[in-house]
Amino acid sequence: MLDSSKQQHIDQLLVRIAYQFSDQGLLKQALSHRSVGTPNNERLEFIGDSILNCTIAQALYQQLPKATEGDLSRLRADLVCETTLAEIAREWELGASLFLGAGEIKSGGAQRPSILSDTVEALIGAISLDADMATAQASVLRWYQSRLANLKVGKPKKDAKTELQEAVQKKQVALPVYQVASIDGADHNQTFKVRCDIPNLLSEVFGEGTSRRKAEQAAAAKALQLLRQK
């Protein structure tokens, strides 16, 4: 049985996502990180990721009839990326509802972008199993309503690595160097930790992600933030 504080946070989360689960086991699984053992939300995340990409792709196609395939791809990538999903999770205050192992709790896992974004995808997958695909897609569209309403087709936003490289070039120092510091987890669900060094400027700035690319982007974003403070 959950303690009253955790149950209250989960109840508030359900109000924010505007969905009530019939199967409470699916809900708990969706909120359970792999650090708590099994069952956890990895398999639900797999389903949710596919539904999310399909739903957003269809929404963009219908909403932007004059957009090119390249425009649609860039917009979808921005909407389904880890950063956007983590923003949505924070709007829900999702972190307080997560089930995490002791190590993840101690290391701040409840606010880690990779964990938050994965959990949003897991919730999508859980809703599809608790109800059906249409209900899951309707939930996605509801959660993304404001973001879809404010779309702009045009010059794509630069990613963190590109911004960092341009900022470093202006300072006329060596370009950033990225190196994988560690890879944790099973082959099908790994967490990458990447170090970003800028010789003579910044060193040992780390980022994490579910792929090397995502981890490099996370490290670049942190480095860029530190660089702007100098």
Q: Which long-range contacts (CB under 8 A, 24 or more apart) does 5-8 make?
A: 6/96, 6/97
Annotated binding site: 45, 118, 121
Alpha helices per DSSP H over the chain? 4-17, 24-30, 42-63, 69-80, 82-92, 102-106, 113-130, 133-143, 145-149, 160-170, 212-229
pLDDT band of residue 119 (cuts 50, 70, 90) is: very high
Annotated binding site for Mg(2+): 45, 118, 121
Q: For residue 114, give the amino acid letter.
A: S
d(CA 59, CA 64): 8
pLDDT at 1: 63
Average pLDDT, the chain: 91
Burial letters for 157-185: b for 16+ Cβ neighbours within 10 Å, e otherwise?
eebbbebbbebbeeeeeeebebeeeeeee
Q: What are the structural domains of the chain?
A: 4-149 (1.10.1520.10), 160-229 (3.30.160.20)
What is the arithmetic mean of pLDDT over 197-210? 88
Summarize pLDDT for 145-203 with one digit per residue, the tens: 999 998 877 655 678 898 899 888 888 888 999 999 999 887 667 889 999 999 888 88
pTM: 0.70
Q: Exactly one of 42, 82, 121, 208 is catalytic; name it.
A: 121
- Is 121 a catalytic site residue? yes
Report CA-CA distances (Å) from 184 to 10, 35, 178, 208, 210.
29, 12, 18, 11, 10
Q: Pick the closest to residue 13 from 33, 34, 28 (CA basis).
A: 28
Q: Exactly one of 49, 82, 104, 130 is catalytic; name it.
A: 49
- 125: which DSSP letter? H
Phi, then psi, of 208 in degrees rounded to 5 = -125, 150
pLDDT at 154: 62
Burial of 13 (0-12, 13-18, 19+ CB in 10 A): buried
d(CA 218, CA 141): 26
* Torsion of the alpha carbons at 132, 134, 135 and 139, rounded to the nearest 10: 140
Summarize pLDDT for 8-49 with one digit per residue, the tens: 999 999 999 999 999 999 999 999 999 999 999 999 999 999
- Is 49 a catalytic site residue? yes
* Residue 226 CB coordination number (10 Å): 14
